[in-house]
Amino acid sequence: MSVAQEIETPSSSIIMPQEWSDATESIVNNSVSSNPPIAIVCGPNNCGKTTFSLSLVNALLQRHKKVAYLDTDVGQAVFTPPGLLSLTVIDEVTPYLTRPCLKTPERCFFFGDISSKRDPEMYLSYIFKLFDRYLKEYSTNNNKNFLDDAGFPLVINTPGWVKGIGYEILVDMIKYMSPTHVVKIKISREMKNLPAGVFWTREGVMDSNHVIEINTALQDHLHRSLLVQKDASGLRDLRVIEYFRQCFPNQRNLTRKKLGLALVAHPPYEFHISSVKIKHLHCEVHETEIFYSLNATIVGLAISSDATERLPQCVGLGIVRAVDPSKGMLYIITPVPQKTLEDVDLLLQGFIQFPTCFLKVPGYISPYVSRNVIS
């Protein structure tokens, strides 16, 4: 990796600082040891965690044929739409945020919200399960399918909520995962940063983890952080839009307006109500309102947990196009293949926002409203 590597983002061009290059190089060089590195990247909002984590993945791919990526930021996920916690195996260089780069995760769970605030316990249980999956399938040489004898490196991206409960969640994550490297990105406003040193252990207790502290890449001539105020809601909408654009693999250049029209006309997948269980996350819905609450929402399509997994595996998202209780049918638009949908027996409803551009379809009052719920 060159010292001054230019990284394209939606809002600016970033020159990779020397200390970022040095941090990346130190982790990559460690990957030649018997055990691949496990690196967790943390820091406050908008400090560059995603950019650094992707640059680290790309650098590790120079030494390994595959790299695992555990995304714990449900609000600004990298390879999936928002609301998902995922483990993705990457085998090619990833562009830096120039546009959504959606990938099919190796395993993911539907958390159904853009923050862990509503249910930190559930949030952590999903993350721990994904990490356990990595340990079982990709970090040891017990699996003969490995291309690397010692397994694949793991890069963990984290949310920017590092105060209060968010801080406690991060501490629990680091303690559980025991990463080989903890990369802390700092900004000039010290009060926003994580504590110095090995902050997740008791005072006076040393830890073998390698702590790397670096400054944010965007700074002015006085070395003050130039935080880029992201349009977080807009970025989430963009990822949802790109996800459902996959319903039309041969029409990737559809404008948002044309995409909205195409989705309205797209044949939905039909679920018989008796074949699926409906679960509302983070809230309670009266049984008489279940179908009304489902209509015109984004749901997680899941396969019930078995005795070994204990948690429902999410296979994708769907738009509830209409509900017909008289026929006992649910109509859902999704890019998930039909063969996979045949195993779906659980619909998870959370608080993932429906992009407004899908509602503003010319020629329709609104294709996703309560009038589609046939009583």
Which CATH number fits the domain that encloses residue 69? 3.40.50.300
Residue 231 within any structural domain of the chain = no
> Quick one: 210 and 283 in the same domain?
no
90 and 210 co-located in one domain: yes
Dihedral sign for Cα atoms in the order 191, 193, 195, 199? positive
* pLDDT of 129 strictly over 90: yes
Q: How far apart are CA 373 and CA 273, in angstroms?
A: 13
Domain boundary, last residue among 186, 215, 244? 215
Question: What pLDDT does residue 229 have?
Answer: 59
Q: Assess whether 312 and 357 both reside in one domain.
A: yes
179 and 272, same domain (yes or no): no
Q: Are residues 195 and 275 in the same domain?
A: no
270 shares a domain with 199: no
Cβ-defined contacts of 324-330 (< 8 Å, 24+): 324/373, 324/374, 325/273, 325/291, 325/373, 325/374, 325/375, 326/374, 326/375, 327/374, 328/272, 328/273, 328/274, 329/270, 329/271, 329/272, 329/273, 330/270, 330/271, 330/272, 330/273, 330/276, 330/294
Q: Which range of residues forms the domain containing residue 208?
A: 6-215
Per-residue confidence band for 369, with pLDDT thresholds at 50, 70 and 90: very low
Residue 258: the pLDDT is 86
d(CA 115, CA 123) in angstroms, rounded, equals 9
CA 317 – CA 39 distance, rounded (Å): 29
Same domain (yes/no): 74, 155: yes
The structural domain count of the chain equals 2
**Does 12 share its domain with 109?**
yes
Length of the chain: 375
The reply to whether 92 and 190 lie within a common domain is yes
In terms of domains, do 47 and 168 share one? yes
User: Over the stretch 50-89, which tens digit does the pLDDT of each residue have?
Assistant: 999 999 999 999 989 999 999 999 999 999 999 999 999 9
**According to the model, what pLDDT value does residue 7 have?**
35
Are residues 271 and 176 located together in one domain of the fold?
Answer: no
In this structure, are 206 and 341 located in the same domain? no
Q: What is the mean pLDDT of residues 5-16?
A: 44
pLDDT band at residue 2 using 50, 70 and 90 as cut-offs: very low
